[in-house]
Amino acid sequence: MRIACMRTVCRRFAGLLVVAGAVSTAWAQSGDKVSQYSNLNLAAFGAGSGNDCWGYVSPSGREYAIMGLNNQVAFVEITNPESPEIIEQIPHTSSTWGDIKVWGHYAYAVTEASSTGIQVIDMSDIDNGNVTLVKTIESPGRSHNVVLDTDNGFLYTVGSRNGTGTTMCFDLSDPANPVQVGANSMTENYIHDAQVMTWTSGDLAGRQLFFGCSESRGVDIYDMTDKNAPVLVNRVVYPNMNYCHQAWVSEDRRFLFVDDELDEGNLLVPTRSLMFNIEDPENAYFMGTFSTGLLAIDHNQYVSDGFAFQANYRSGLRIFDVSQMPSLPVEVGYYDTYPANNNRGYDGAWSCYPFFPSGNVIISDINRGLFVVDTTEATTRKRPANDYVVVKGQVMSGGLGDTEQNGGGSLDIGIGPNGNLDRSPVEVVFETAAYDESPLKLKVEARTRSNIYGYQQRLALYNWSLNQWETIDSRLISPVINDVVVSGTGSISRFVQPGTKIMKLRLRYEATTGVARGSLLVSVDQIQFQITR
């Protein structure tokens, strides 16, 4: 045990020596609303090329990037995103293609190299620098990827090469010892990638649905509930199918986002991302496309908090807001890890992982290794109030529309001379809705003024956990314009109502001691919530 520990210490120290000369924080990449924390190049890993990536969060809350490389799977702590640290490297037979997924504290890694099998890797002691290869499942001998059914605890191989086998399934009841269930060929054809989940609505509610990318055949939707008798529910086609490569389902399970890896090159079109309506999987249909307008080939994409994070080879990480579907998705930011050009080609960003609690995103680059980036600016939604209630006082002029932006009118709320007996003569509550129940950051903007001096303005957010108002700012307000920008602290989820996702902001005005109170008129020119995923 002592020897093993010493090996780990030496290995980590040696890794740091390499990393010190291989971490970049100021490369020549370009970006918009996304900035780089750090970059570990291929030399840091002792590898020739990069491929897939995934992530893991230990029970302590420390965050780890899992980087796929041609000769290994590397485990990198990124809790401090500016100082990534290589913790362990698990070697495998050299392969351009490698992929990883995580279940509990186990990582499952595959490659397309013969005899790689499925590597089962234990990360339970990763905080102490220990990551262990537990076993290797020999069959299938090689796979393009692994897919997890996180609702039910099953692992599927896709792109399997087990004789005539296509897609295989393993029960993860004992995650250290996955057990194959069902046939060697659970799908009729080769499936390149997939996502699996328990459906929650309609005739297929309760069924384990497999959304598979089936090369030139389109999207194959299987019912995998009975592992011994999978059923092809539907095959969804789309115009100019070339190679249906990878897909991800929106969090509301209404839409499927797909990338076709060969359409840009064969059709000579700009990056083409595909959208499908899957509300009724048995009658799913193609909706249309959206694009960056660049020539780069799209490769992998994932949806988190209503944003699609795309790894588009030579144009790098591209982020689209897809929360307003079926309206066309809007690009909100990018970070280009391949600065040479945005042309068609198989270089640059292979994949990305946007599911860390910190909101940080990692990018795995074929040529340049692992990037850790800050997407805060790109993933901050500016939301005006969508409703308001005057608790005390009365509306003198204006309405909700006047609070959406600076200028162009205001919502005026007042109270008459009798109000001088009331120390809280004006109170108004504004509402908006967050996209999910656990945003990372919240900033509130208020642009207000009053007609007289001596009134205290208090901004409060409703704490749904405690069922009470929580003051976040208090200041004197005057007849000049008062701009207030204040951030919520701590866990922002306490300000989001579970289920409805409603957030409430209260503006309250109280006369200070000794002030002659009279007819008060409060003008609200802007109320805006800035909510970051």
User: Looking at the predicted structure, is the pLDDT value of residue 164 above 90?
Assistant: no
Is the model's pTM score more than 0.75?
yes
CA distance 502 to 483: 24
What tens digit of pLDDT does each residue of 33-53 get?
999 999 999 999 999 999 999
What tens digit of pLDDT does each residue of 258-307 get?
999 999 999 999 999 999 999 999 999 999 999 999 999 999 999 999 99
In the chain, where the domains are located: 2-20+32-378, 381-532
In this structure, the strands spanning 330-335 and 502-511 are: unpaired
The CA-CA-CA angle for residues 182, 248, 88, to 5°, reads 80
Nearest to 313 by CA among 259, 373, 258, 244: 259
CA distance 300 to 68: 14
Residue type, 459: L
CA distance 114 to 136: 13
CA distance 463 to 470: 6
The structure tokens 């057990």 sit at: 179
User: Looking at the predicted structure, is the pLDDT value of residue 32 above 90?
Assistant: yes
Q: What is the Cβ-side half-sphere exposure of residue 504, based on CA atoms within 13 angstroms? A: 19
The structure tokens 């090469």 sit at: 161
CB-based contact 208:149 (threshold 8 Å): yes
CB-based contact 301:257 (threshold 8 Å): yes
- Quote the strand ranges of 214-344, DSSP E: 219-223, 231-236, 244-249, 255-260, 273-277, 285-290, 300-304, 307-311, 317-321, 330-335
The CATH architecture to which 2-20+32-378 belongs is 7 Propeller (2.130)
What tens digit of pLDDT does each residue of 194-227 get?
999 999 999 999 999 999 999 999 999 999 999 9
Q: Which two tokens stand for residue 210?
A: 């497999």
- Which fold would CATH assign to domain 381-532? Jelly Rolls (2.60.120)
Quick one: pLDDT band at residue 451, thresholds 50, 70, 90?
Answer: confident
CA distance 179 to 137: 9
User: Looking at the predicted structure, is the pLDDT value of residue 6 above 60?
Assistant: no
User: Looking at the predicted structure, is the pLDDT value of residue 238 above 70?
Assistant: yes
CA distance 139 to 180: 9
- Residue 97: which residues within 8 A CB-CB, separation 6 or more? 51, 111, 112, 144
Mean pLDDT of 110-125: 94
- The average confidence (pLDDT) of the chain is 90
What tens digit of pLDDT does each residue of 347-402 get?
999 999 999 999 999 999 999 999 999 999 999 999 999 999 999 999 999 999 99
